Chains A and B, each alone.
Chain A
Amino acid sequence: MNLLEAFIYSAIIALIAGTVLPLLYHSKNSRKASFVLSFLSSILLLIFAGIILYTGKEPSFPAFRFLPGLDFTLATDRLSAGFILLIAAVTLGVSIYSVEYVEHAKSEARKDIQAALTNLFILSMLMVVLAGNMVGFLVFWEIMSLSSLMLVLHDYTSEENKKAGLFYFIMTSLSTAFLFMGFMSLFSLTGSAEFGQLDYPTSSLTLPFLCLFTGFGIKAGLVPFHKWLPYAHPAAPSSISALMSGVMLKVAIYGFLRFLLSVATPELWWGTLILIAGTLSAILGVIYAIKESDIKRLLAYSSIENIGIIFTGIGLYLIFKLEGVESLALLSLVGACFHAFNHALFKSLLFLGAGSVVHATGTRNIEAFGGLIKRMPYTATLFLIGSVSIAGLPPTSGFVSELMIFQVYFNSSAIPDPLLKVLLIITLSVFALTSALAAALFVKLFGITFLALPRTKYAHEATEVPKPMLLGETIPAAFCILSGLFSSRILALLGFDLGIPDMLLLGLILAAACGLVWLAVRNSGPAKARMSKETWGCGILAQHPTMEYTSAGFSEPLVVIFKKIYRTEISSTRIYSDTRESIFKNGTARIHLIKFFEERLYLPVASAVSLVSSQVSKMQNGKLDTYVLYVFIAVLTLMTFTRYFA
């Protein structure tokens, strides 16, 4: 057994132990030990992934045999190592955070189960990425879906959570069904369940592509399959939201990339489809997020936006690869992967921060917050780092990946096809709008949550969260800053020379400039600042929190500008007391926000399915002889079929 095998096996064993321990010994210490184990395993995984990324080794370890001929192997290459790095980096913070966070669950049993399932969830995501063939991939994919489902249903007594769980269950099963179909059609094409080079004519790969795109798209939360995200995230505990949004969506991206990169001759329309779907997800995600005032639902919509950005990068990769511009293709692929990594970190940071805020105030509604920066200064600082990073401000990591995609777009004059260029211009302007709206969104989220006066007594009485939770948030925050500052150096170390600006230099100049400005004005004016009695308000007697801007007020201009997209229906009926309709007597008015995808896409499909199944259920009467008759008819049909058609 060599060093790499030792690393990976001990990481897996640690996670298994972490799953079993809290189920066997029901105590606070065993839960603590379980999270320590997942913390240790993530350190091992970080080293393991680092070695593989740096050396480019592609080890594979035979593990066990499902059936004769179906070995389960663990295989890694640089793609999966990148995603293992991502899983480990997020787990690092989440496991420390959970040590304290899990103790706030309602009952002892729930605490134990949450600790165990968290470990199982992490393990299953790791195994999906490590899986060397389709069978292993699907098995662990299903374990991943089910363990996360149970975590979403953690607080199962609430009516809202039951609905969220059901929604998530249907969507995730649908995703698995599509993946199954995609993998089956690949299997029938190649005759092998291994992930290998797919050197087949593209016409035969159209079906697998569409199935896998849909399957992974559902899991990743691509519009129009995104609706489960804003339901499932608020229902799940925050540490699980961090894992789901940070890691599980990326596992879907991994699966899609694994397929896409193995296809020898993809087609241009694939790239165009992915690009358009990505751009649409990005813009719709952020536009829906702007209107949201539930902190976790807002972050869920923002995840849809970021998944859109990642898919945009993948789409650009395909387009530029097929147009023969290798350097830009590489830049967009690395940009997409780097954005996946960055999003994992800043979104888990934001979800953990949101968890802290919800823990301190007891509500998810940001209209009830305010002034938390005074009460929870550390959480606020860490949340600000996350917000700055997700808004894509230099020199943080979120900026670097957006920069890469912008750079690809700006250099797109290199491709010859004029129509493709027009498509790129349109998607570029939408992409620009997305990133600016994201900045507006996080000004709103941070500003309304943490700044000004507390709006309710819950916010007023909030106190800083315990240290382990803060420490858990510090780790992704540090990643956000460091992987931004050292981005070009890290990428160079991995062998990617992409010619992106050096953020370290910019960061240093910025810090120096701040210092110089401070030095220059240090001695001017009176040394001590004075505190006024309160904020000036045109001579009002006392400032009151109700005078502050609210979340809904903040987003109102954007809601007006994009009212076509929100599809608000305003209807009214009036009754007049005279025939000439001039004296108003009575009436009703209604503002209805159409949930477009739910009402126009999901519900029609769901009602069609339930119509068919209600017909089918008529055939079930529970009597044995009826079923024997069915079997008889089935056998007869088969015999006729084989006689005449086979």
Chain B
Amino acid sequence: MNASFLLFTLLNTGFILLVSPLFMSLIKKVKASTQGRKGPNLLQSYFDLRKLMKKEVIYSPNSSGIMRITPYLNLAVLILASLFVPIVFIPEAPAGIGNIIVFLYLLAIERFFTALCGLDAGSTFGGMGSSRLMSLSAVIEPTMVIAFAALAYVLKTVNFHEMFAITAGSTIPKSPTLTLISISLFIIIIVETGRIPVDNPATHLELTMINEAMILEQSGKNLALIELAHAVKQTILMAVLINILAPWGLATKVTFAGLAVSCLYFLVKASLLAGVIGLFESSIAKMRLFRLPSFYMMAFFFSALTILMEVFA
């Protein structure tokens, strides 16, 4: 633990927690405008969170401790994961922070406990959501691992911090293979954040429900924590893509101006990406559950292709 890392912990995590809800509303706004609606206020997600914080928590008598600890655990796991993805500057982190395998498994913790939470109250919806989430996440896992392995192949390191230091050093993406990986990473964002065509975050209809089904029993501040954790996950995954594809402006040294520029650049780039996600969601229909594995195969193909290109180059 050094001063640089402590500063990074405060700034990076604070910044991510602060801006995450913004992108949630932004995507809703983009989707609304493509549908010809006005859409919510850009700060709506913050208002929602504040409102939920004030409401009382209601538990089903059938639920157990799992329901009670999961909201806290999920947000804590994502706070830890946020240390792995530098947005404001790249610190001198202790060994192991930034390891992409640990990062993947931190996301797995969140998934594991959310799925248990879905089963906890004994509602049919929750069970359905858990079953679908675990099945689909199992099928997407090879894609995620191969995409991250492709990153490791191209950039010759398994640490995000080192990867971003390499990409941030250059003004354009280092190799065309990174662009290919970006396609897979984009699909991974869509899948992991439960967006169309995988899941529909806007409905509570059992045909489409995955994520929404599992948190149906959550209420009050617990729901707020889960929503925030979800937003943080989206921001972190977006940051991974941004730092690979368009790493301009990421500070490698700590200066006040550098930090400000990093934050500003990130806001602009992430807003653009959120816009793209919104447009993507609007332009495609929800897929049938059992059609999804072939959608995942596409992402798998791009990342496997990247590695093959590197292998035979």
Contacts and interface: CB of A to CB of B under 8 A. Distances in A.
Contacts of B62: 371, 452-453, 534-535, 543
A437 B134 CA distance: 8
B31 interface: no
A531 interface: yes
Contacts of B293: 561
Interface string B101-143: 1100110110110011011111110111011101111111110
B53 interface: yes
A543 B63 CA distance: 13
Given A429-B146, A517-B225, A521-B53, A545 B109 contact: no
Interface stretch (A69-77, A301-309, A347-355, A420-428): A420-428
Interface string A477-514: 00000000000000000000001111101100110011
B116 A443 contact: yes
A432 B142 contact: yes
B102 A403 contact: yes
A58 to B, nearest CB: 32
A411 interface: yes
Contacts of A442: 112
Interface stretch (B91-99, B236-244, B263-271, B275-283): B91-99
A443 B132 CA distance: 12
Contacts of A500: 96
A447 B130 contact: yes
B149 interface: yes
A436 interface: yes
Interface centre among B79, B138, B144, B308 (most CB of A within 10 A): B138
A535 B60 contact: yes
A440 B137 contact: yes
A436 B119 CA distance: 18
Nearest to A414: B156
A429 B301 CA distance: 12
Q: How large is the interface on A (under 10, 10 to 19, 20 to 34, 35 or more residues)?
A: 35 or more
Interface string B148-183: 110011001010000000000000000000000000
Contacts of A430: 142
Contacts of A537: 123-124
A469 to B, nearest CB: 21
A452 B121 contact: yes
A531 B59 contact: yes
Contacts of B290: 557, 560-561
Interface residues of B, number: 85
A394 B124 contact: no
A224 to B, nearest CB: 23
A210 to B, nearest CB: 31
B153 to A, nearest CB: 5
B307 interface: yes
Interface stretch (A140-148, A385-393, A620-628): A385-393
A425 B304 CA distance: 8
Contact of B119 (A418, A433, A447): A447
A530 B137 contact: no
B199 interface: no
B254 interface: no
B56 A418 contact: no
Given A432-B144, A440-B135, A518-B72, A422 B308 contact: yes
Contacts of A406: 101, 145
A525 B96 contact: no
B236 to A, nearest CB: 14
B207 interface: no
B110 to A, nearest CB: 10
A532 B116 contact: no
A558 B80 contact: no
B14 to A, nearest CB: 12
Nearest to A547: B124
17 contacts: A391-B108, A409-B149, A410-B158, A413-B310, A430-B142, A432-B144, A440-B135, A451-B66, A501-B96, A505-B94, A517-B75, A521-B53, A525-B55, A526-B57, A531-B61, A554-B130, A558-B138
Given A394-B102, A501-B99, 17 more contacts: A373-B64, A393-B105, A393-B108, A410-B101, A410-B152, A425-B307, A428-B145, A431-B145, A448-B119, A502-B96, A506-B102, A510-B76, A513-B75, A514-B76, A525-B53, A535-B217, A549-B127
Which 3 pairs, one residue from A and one from B, show the smallest C-beta to C-beta distance? A549-B127, A501-B96, A452-B122
Interface of A: 370-371, 373-374, 380, 388, 391-394, 399, 403, 406-407, 409-411, 413, 418, 421-422, 425, 428-433, 435-437, 439-440, 442-444, 446-448, 450-453, 499-503, 505-506, 509-510, 513-514, 516-518, 521, 524-526, 528-537, 543, 545, 547-549, 553-558, 560-561
